[in-house]
Amino acid sequence: MALLVPAASFLERSTRMGEMGMNRSRGFTLIELLVVVAIIGIIAAIAVPNLLTAVDRGKQKKSMADMRTIGSAVEAYATDHNSYPVQATADAPISLPIAQMLQPYYTQVVPMLDGWDRPILYGTLSDGSAYTIRSYGKDGVKNGTQGATSGLDCDIVFQAGRFTSWPEGVQS
């Protein structure tokens, strides 16, 4: 014996189930989306400046490491030759003859640019008894004081095997 279901009750039931299903899968409201976008904006506003400062601190550390490499090579050269390699112009970019004196015997490659892609400066006394290695920092202008400095624009200076002007914080 076949079971007969009235057509009207079947259509009513399927329509009601369809409506219930649509209510459950509506998606997000505009308010919910705006709240999420606002939260992302707040996080970005906090994170981006910190990220930019970290990038600049990394450039300072790269500059310091490169300057230390040059200083070690210059010190090793002085041990063998009893004077530092003389460069006629003080606080000028490292000249090609100086770089050729130092590589490949004292360092594989002489770093020529600091972290901001500006020339690392090198100068000596005329008799080769002292040297200075300098990076002008983020702004590329000569400034700063002796000792620890707090700004990204302050110069980084390496003399006689040690930093005489360096960024604040732990130096290793």
Structural domain including 77 reads: 40-167
Q: Would you state the structure tokens that stand for residue 137, as one six-digit string?
A: 């920092």
- CATH number of the domain bearing residue 100: 3.30.700.10
Asked whether residue 105 is domain-assigned, the answer is yes
pLDDT in tens, 2-61: 555 555 555 555 555 555 555 556 788 999 999 999 999 999 998 888 888 888 889 999
* Number of alpha carbons in the 13 Å side-chain half-sphere of residue 172: 1
- Residue 4 within any structural domain of the chain: no
Q: How many CA atoms lie within 13 A of 24 on its CB side?
A: 6
Distance CA 35, CA 38 (A): 5
How many structural domains are present in the chain?
A: 1
Q: pLDDT for 83-111, tens place per residue?
A: 999 987 878 899 999 999 998 899 999 99
